[in-house]
């Protein structure tokens, strides 16, 4: 999060995670394992990457803009990061948040020793805490909300770094999945509601932590389990693992959009295969919003599993009616509206011989601004499709996220401005339908929303925010700007 402009997000037409984290302790090649793990998490952040290592005496830091391969593919880069403990981070930045000073892991020399932190999530009272810290003399080096955690740790009066971290995290609100390095070892921690994901694995004698289980597959590690909401795990260099639960008991609220879009389909989230969950969402969508058509066509790549589920349940053949180029950057990093529209055509191309004269059902994971959806519908019509029906494997995205997902301000979300029929007209589809919120829960949790266990964070669909939003409340007139009350942790 960029604290100079905490509520303005990048001009994209896809929701996106802002970060992915990875950590390894007890591995002779900890930095190499971390770099490999970050490769598997590259989809969670493509603007910058960083790794910090520790050799038992000294911390080593290497951070850079661009992809993991651009910064850590060579032997020289890994050799500059010695030690049996390392933590890494990939990130996107919000508007104004790019630049090396915000690239993580952040590192600081504290009175108690070196302290490095890799953070996925967003601290929703970071601006308030930052102002208080600055008034007491703190000097910040970045605009990242993560640096607030470092200053809170530095100013805590508790004797150990673990207790100082607990003290600091009790002051923050919002979402965090952290991998922390100290001279005593590694600490992994997940926020009390478990909004952002964090998992634990093992390879040989090394303990690993990552945002997604797929990172363990890539490094040949065993997936042990998810870090539970509110759980803190401390791993020493002797291999001993200590589990703490310093934040009390809360009803979990993991982000349901991990199942819809963020996580790789070969990951496991909230105890469920992401791939199977997405197929189930597509199946539920077919039950709720059937359509008479010739072909089910996914918007690649994120729409593929849901389209398979839709096709299986509806009996309509699944076909790759859109071919994606894998050598074009994501359209949401384009700097202008015109460039974004051009980017859609460079990234996706209609399979004209297949779709011409056919009634097409397009399956996508979400509609954010609607501009990409409109261009894809137009592309299918230009390729000769007789009808273009649009089905969305998530409910309408009508609210911004303040927990580590980079979303446009609410006024730019199509579903915040329009009902479904005007949205259909905007994207120029013959029909448009979204999976219901209850249907989404039935697909991923097996029960309706009110009975779901765990209950997910679905604030981007429902407006039901599970924590206080202190910075937002201070920056805006909440009742005027939002159609929901700002809640507190239940």
Q: Angle of helix 146-155 relative to helix 126-135, nearest 10 degrees?
A: 40
Q: Cα dihedral sign for 377, 379, 382, 387?
A: negative
Per the annotation, the verdict on 255 as an active-site residue is no
Alpha carbon 72 to chain centroid distance? 22
Predicted local distance difference test score (pLDDT) of residue 98: 63
The Cα–Cα gap between 110 and 129 comes to 19
Within 8 A by CB and 6+ apart from 422, the residues are none
| Fold match flag (16-253 vs 277-445) | no
Domains of the chain, residue spans: 16-253, 277-445
Predicted local distance difference test score (pLDDT) of residue 10: 39
Cβ pair 197, 269 in contact under 8 A: yes
Name the active-site residue from 9, 19, 457, 460: 19
The Cα–Cα gap between 55 and 382 comes to 59
Predicted local distance difference test score (pLDDT) of residue 342: 53
Predicted local distance difference test score (pLDDT) of residue 343: 55
Predicted local distance difference test score (pLDDT) of residue 311: 98
pLDDT in tens, the chain (490 residues): 443 333 333 345 666 667 999 999 999 999 999 999 999 999 999 999 999 999 999 999 999 999 999 999 889 999 999 999 999 999 986 433 568 899 999 999 999 899 999 999 999 999 999 999 999 999 999 999 999 999 999 999 999 999 999 999 999 999 999 999 999 999 999 999 999 999 999 999 999 999 999 999 999 999 999 999 999 999 999 999 999 999 988 999 999 999 999 999 999 999 899 999 999 999 999 999 999 999 999 999 889 999 999 999 999 999 999 998 877 554 333 334 444 445 566 678 999 999 999 999 999 999 999 999 999 999 999 999 999 999 999 999 999 999 988 777 898 999 999 999 999 999 999 999 999 999 999 999 999 898 876 789 999 999 999 999 999 998 875 433 443 333 333 2
Hey, what's the torsion of the CAs at 365, 371, 374, 379, to 10 degrees? -90
Cβ pair 199, 223 in contact under 8 A: yes
CATH class of the 277-445 domain in this structure: alpha beta
Structure tokens at 37: 């793990």
Structure tokens at 102: 């915000």
DSSP annotation of 457 reads: B
The CATH fold assigned to 16-253 is 3.60.20
DSSP output for 395-435: ----S---SSEE---GGG-HHHH--HHHHHHHHT-SEEEE-
Question: pTM of the entire structure?
Answer: 0.90
Predicted local distance difference test score (pLDDT) of residue 128: 96
């Amino acid at each position: 999060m960029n604290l100079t402009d905490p509520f303005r997000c990048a001009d994209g037409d896809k929701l996106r995670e802002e970060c992915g984290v990875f950590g390894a302790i007890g591995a002779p090649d900890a930095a190499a394992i971390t770099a490999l793990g970050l490769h598997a998490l590259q989809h969670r952040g493509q603007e910058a990457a960083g790794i910090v290592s520790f050799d038992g005496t000294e911390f080593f830091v290497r951070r850079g803009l661009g992809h993991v391969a651009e910064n850590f593919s060579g032997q020289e880069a890994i050799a500059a990061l010695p030690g049996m403990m390392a933590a890494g981070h990939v990130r996107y930045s919000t508007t104004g948040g790019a630049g090396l000073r915000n690239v993580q892991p952040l590192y600081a020399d504290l009175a108690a020793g070196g302290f490095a932190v890799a953070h996925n999530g967003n601290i929703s009272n970071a601006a308030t805490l930052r102002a208080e810290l600055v008034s007491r003399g703190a000097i910040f080096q970045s605009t990242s909300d993560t640096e607030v955690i470092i200053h809170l740790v530095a100013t805590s009066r508790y004797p150990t770094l673990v207790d100082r971290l607990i003290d600091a995290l009790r002051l923050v609100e919002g979402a965090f999945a952290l991998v922390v390095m100290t001279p005593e070892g590694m600490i992994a921690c997940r926020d009390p509601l478990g909004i952002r994901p964090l998992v634990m694995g093992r390879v040989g004698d090394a303990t690993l932590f990552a945002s997604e289980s797929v990172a363990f597959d890539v490094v040949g590690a065993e997936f042990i389990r998810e870090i539970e909401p509110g759980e803190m795990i401390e791993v020493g260099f002797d291999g001993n693992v200590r589990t703490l639960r310093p934040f009390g008991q809360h009803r979990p609220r993991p982000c349901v959009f991990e199942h819809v879009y963020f996580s790789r389909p070969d990951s496991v989230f909230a105890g469920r295969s992401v791939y199977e969950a997405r197929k189930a969402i597509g199946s539920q969508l077919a039950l709720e919003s059937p359509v008479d058509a010739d072909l089910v066509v996914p918007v690649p790549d994120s729409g593929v599993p849901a389209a398979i589920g839709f096709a299986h349940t509806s009996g309509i053949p699944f076909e790759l009616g859109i071919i994606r180029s894998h050598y074009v950057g994501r359209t949401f990093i384009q700097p202008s509206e015109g460039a974004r529209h051009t980017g859609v055509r460079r990234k996706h191309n209609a399979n004209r011989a297949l779709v011409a004269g056919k009634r097409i059902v397009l399956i996508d994971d979400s509609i954010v601004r609607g501009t990409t959806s409109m261009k894809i519908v137009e592309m299918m019509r230009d390729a000769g499709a007789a009808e273009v029906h649009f089905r969305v494997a998530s409910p309408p995205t009508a609210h911004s996220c303040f927990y580590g997902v980079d979303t446009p301000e609410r006024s730019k979300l199509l579903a915040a401005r329009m009902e479904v029929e005007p949205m259909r007209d905007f994207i120029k589809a013959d029909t448009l339908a979204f999976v219901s919120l209850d249907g989404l829960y039935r697909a991923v949790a097996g029960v309706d929303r009110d009975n779901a266990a765990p209950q997910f964070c679905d604030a981007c669909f429902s407006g039901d925010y599970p924590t206080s939003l202190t910075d937002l409340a201070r920056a805006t007139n909440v009742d005027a700007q939002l159609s929901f009350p700002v809640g507190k942790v239940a």
